[in-house]
Amino acid sequence: MTAVLFTCAGQRVDIVSAFGRAGATTVASDLDPLAPALYHAHHRAIVPRVDDPAYVQALARLVADHDVRLVVPLTDLDQEIVSAARQELAPALVLAPAPEVCRTMGDKYLAHAFFEANGIPSPRTWLPADVPDDARYPLLVKVREGFGSRHIYRADDRAQLDFHLRSTPVDSMVQERCLGVEFSIDVFCDTSGRCLNAIPRSMIQSKGGESIKGESLADPELIEHGARVAEAIGIVGPANIQCFREPDGSLPVTDVNPRFGGAFPLPLAAGSRYPELALALARGESPEPRLGEFRAGVVMTRFFSDLCLVLGEDGELVPFAEELPEPLAAEPGQT
């Protein structure tokens, strides 16, 4: 069984459990001893903050102790750090693109500049001092580095724009608001950056910047678009590409997160088999692309769950139940 280390595991029970069902030995790490994903892994570890110099050393010890062959960062918090620490984490494969890709995609203004330079459509975007008089309102004031739709403000005119730019506590940019329908595309690429699959989904409902209702779509244009964008960026492993289909037919990209998306359960249920592809890469295999091979029309609706803990005999927290909750449905193709 391939051992997989998940960093900043947090609440990503869905991802940790999916890899476990795919045959991996799962090792979850987090700063917070109450992070739910810790208790759905075969092994768990409390590690320092990501900005602590000892953070990478702690991960390297886990790699050695558990013979880890794959490291999967689950949030933006440490992705660039883990990507830059490939040598320290060897022989494990780090499932993330190069540090400069993480850095560029993490800064939404740099990402916009990259898109424009590489022929990828993107909404008109400016630094605060460069907004032209012909900008089309409403405009969005958006944080350059952040997640969860925090610090995003709508401005319907110049007065509102100036107010939000004065008031926002973070380094921001200004972007024209897209007029079309929003989509997300969950992609997965091999270690050479070749896209193995791209699964578009509708954004039926989002909360806090995360999709909580959506549907997988058989949309050849979005599949091709997602694959082209992923390969142009140099994605390794998973990424979530957010774009709009505008009235003129263009597909401007607004955001690329080079990690598993918040709506991971939907492409998984649609048959992505992304955990299996990741494990194949960790074994040194070269899976063939399977673009468009998934089930369309799978609808996801997410809900809250919980896990109760008590102190065990060794003084550590353990789940207060005979067994952990199991998924309500089997993996696609299983009974």
CATH code given to domain 179-301: 3.30.470.20
Equal CATH topology for 3-95+305-319 and 124-176: no
Q: How many residues does the chain have?
A: 335
The highest-level CATH class for domain 3-95+305-319 is alpha beta
Which pTM was predicted? 0.92
Report d(CA 164, CA 142) in Å as an integer.
Answer: 10
Structure tokens at 302: 């997410």
The residues spanned by each domain of the chain are 3-95+305-319, 124-176, 179-301
Provide the phi-psi class of 284: left if phi over 0, else alpha when psi is between -120 and 50, else beta. Answer: left
CATH code given to domain 124-176: 3.30.1490
Dihedral of alpha carbons 147, 150, 156, 160, sign? negative
Structure tokens at 124: 């008109």
Per-residue pLDDT at 335? 46
End-to-end CA distance of the chain: 22
Q: What string of pLDDT tens digits covers the 335 residues of the chain? A: 899 999 999 999 999 999 999 999 999 999 999 999 999 999 999 999 999 999 999 999 999 999 999 999 999 999 999 999 999 999 999 999 999 999 999 999 999 999 999 999 999 999 999 999 999 999 999 999 976 567 899 999 999 999 999 999 999 999 999 999 999 999 999 999 999 999 999 998 888 777 889 999 999 999 999 999 999 999 999 999 999 999 999 999 999 999 999 999 999 999 999 999 999 999 999 999 999 999 999 999 988 888 899 998 888 888 886 555 555 555 655 54
Q: Which residues contact 188 (CB under 8 A, 6 or more apart)?
A: 195, 196, 197, 237, 238, 239, 272, 274, 277, 278
Whether 224 contacts 241, CB under 8 Å: no
User: What stretches of the chain show up as alpha helix (H) in DSSP?
Assistant: 13-21, 55-66, 79-84, 86-89, 99-106, 108-117, 158-167, 220-233, 265-269, 274-282
